[in-house]
Structure 1
Amino acid sequence: MTGHAQKYSRRIFLQGAGAAAAAGLGAIALPGTASAATDGGGRAVPPGKIGFQLYSVRDMLRADPEGTLAMVAAAGYASVEPAYDYGNRTPEQFRAIIDANGLRVVGSHHNPYDFRGDLAEVTLERAVTLGQRYVGVSYMDGAQTADGYRRMAEEMNRWGEVARTYGLRWYAHLHDNEFHRDPTTGEVLFDVWLRETDPDLVAFELDLYWILRAGADPVAYLDAHQDRFPLFHLKDGIPTQGIENDLGEGSVDFRGILSHVHALGRHEFVVERDQQPDPVRTAQVSYANLRKLRVPRA
């Protein structure tokens, strides 16, 4: 780990990250790529819809949740998406830190078992405490066959129905395996979910890196099922090689893909990087490049 992965104080975060954000990160050299391209026109991703996946700073969050969330806010983000934990804080304590930094919790990642049995009530009540609109899983555990996906869809519908009674929208984050095919029938597995889940109960978080890693076409899904994807994960890199980069420094054509999104303000855009070589830089550079992005209409 670099020094950025060590514990930081709130003062250091606000002096460093806050100054960089206020200066537009002008001192940092950002290579131009298709992801970061601007043409002086087009639409900007609304700043109030730009969030940060806290899995990208998971080690820092465990060591210093107050400082980490201060850094995220100073970088410019409007919201965060926790994954599995709240930095060793209770939901009430975590909400207080969120509020103190002017952030909001847009959604949260959980394991499937967090929605089974008595754990479901705890999980959903925590989401209500944090004031989020969405709650869901980072993955689903089931057989990678069409029948397996039909069984998972039944469970997802049930969870979505219970979540709705709490005023929440349930969602599943997507990786690459959901876009693989049933080895026997040839069906695209995710297409089974689209058919078998109730649109009013189950939403999906489309990760633009992972769908490209699977060799699938995100534009085709956006054109046909846009309302099923209220949240996006924006993760950059070279998907075909399994390489990750900070947003704007890889090969993912966010500009071209997002041009097919009719109304950017109806979706949430969550920046993520699974690897953590320099999580502070990831937060700062990714936000700066996303704010520069101009999205045309397809």
Structure 2
Amino acid sequence: MKKSVITVVLVFMATSMIMCTSKPSKEIGLQLYSVRDAMKEAPKETVRKVGEMGYTFIEAAGYNDGKFYGMEPLAFKELVEASGMQFISSHTGQSLPDSASWDKTMAWWDKCIDAHLEAGVKYIVQPWMGEQGYNSLEGLKKYCEYFDAVGEKCREKGILFGYHNHDGEFAELEGEVIYDYMLQNTNPENVFFQLDLYWIKEGGKEATDYFNEYPGRFLLWHVKDDKELGASGEMDFESSFELAGKAGVQYLIVEVEKYNFDPIVSVEKSLEYLQNADFVKASYVE
């Protein structure tokens, strides 16, 4: 065989191998709480590693006093984008203020929203309520009113405000399921819900029931397992993804809180699980 022919054959084989081993292109984000220790020790290097894995965007869990992980909003945005990703969503918030601290809390939100605008963030998500939201229906009602007010502030500046659940929201309070009450007593224009697929299961409820009952309210999902995605064998992700359109999901966000491996390895294995899952589409943004 002539040398030129051998070269062509080798190039073809190499290209074929790359095509076979390359990762499917899917729009999947990572909640940086998954690599929280690494983000404290080496935030810039960690963000770069996450981008190299193939994640396409991140959700932050490190906003404080106008900065993200100690960086100015524009600097953090540029770091994320230089790593091949987008900065789409952020977890932060404030507990329910009383009448005396309402104005101070709203001023905190004004600064927070402006920082997120500068960073190009589309979604701000509060991932907790204080005890008032779990102890009485009156306290929960006040939280819903508070979230509506914050959501209206966000919406006026082009950002969407959401709430992230854990398992406690699926308990009953004075005859009402907390999560259902929140869905029924917040304005869909002001408050969306970031459903955590693991925590709703731990709370004894089915995600699909909520997608059918409250269509369009769940713009973001936290796709989570006990450890790495798929590791437990107990999560029925496929049934949720079958109703993704009805749920209204726009972005999928991986979160890993416990690990069988080093956290960096665990989040990469979780990404690979979704990339290789036939039931996950390339994108959910319309």
- Give the TM-score category using the shorter length: 0.7 to 0.9
Given the two structures, how large is their TM-score scaled by the length of structure 1? 0.77
Q: Which of 191, 198, 208 does residue 187 from structure 2 map onto? A: 198
Q: What does residue 140 of structure 1 align with? A: 129
Cα distance in 2, alignment partners of residues 119 and 139 from structure 1? 17
Q: 1:289: which partner in 2?
A: 273
Note the 1:17-56 alignment, pairs <5 A.
23=21, 47-48=26-27, 50-56=28-34
Name the residue aligned to 2:170: 179
Residues 266 and 206 of structure 1: CA distance in aligned 2, closer, same or farther (over 3 Å): closer
Match of 2:144 among 140, 144, 153: 153
Offset of 1:92 from its aligned partner? Answer: 2.1
Name the CA distance, whole Å, in 1 between partners of 2:240 and 2:255.
Answer: 17
Letter paired with 2:70: N
Matching residue's letter, 2:74 = E
Distance in 2 (alpha carbons) for counterparts of 1:296 and 1:77: 14
Whichever residue aligns with residue 270 of structure 1, its letter is I
Q: Indicate the structure whose relative CO is greater, using CA pairs within 8 Å and at least 6 residues apart.
A: 1
1:278 paired residue among 262, 266, 273: 262
Do structure 1's residue 222 and structure 2's residue 211 form an aligned pair?
yes
Instruction: Give the drift of 1:143.
Output: 3.4
Query: Is this contact kept in 2: 1:181–1:188, CA < 8 A?
Result: yes
- Give the deviation of 1:111 after TM superposition: 2.8
- Which of 220, 231, 243 does residue 231 from structure 1 map onto? 220
Aligned residues: 248
1:123 deviates by 0.7
Paired with 2:268 and 2:138, the residues of 1 have a C-alpha distance of: 43
Residues 1:212 and 2:195 aligned together: no
2:79 to 97, 116, 130: 97
Map of 1:164 onto structure 2: 155
Taking only aligned residues, the RMSD between alpha carbons, in angstroms, comes to 2.5
Structure 2: unaligned runs, 5 residues or longer: 1-19, 97-103, 282-286
TM-score by length of 2: 0.80
Gaps of 5+ in 1: 1-21, 26-43, 238-244
**How far does residue 113 in structure 1 lie from its aligned partner after superposition?**
4.5
Moved over 3 A (4+): 22-25, 263-266
| Corresponding residue number in structure 2 for 1:34 | none
Selected match of 1:107 from 72, 89, 94: 89
Secondary structure in 1 matching 2:106? coil
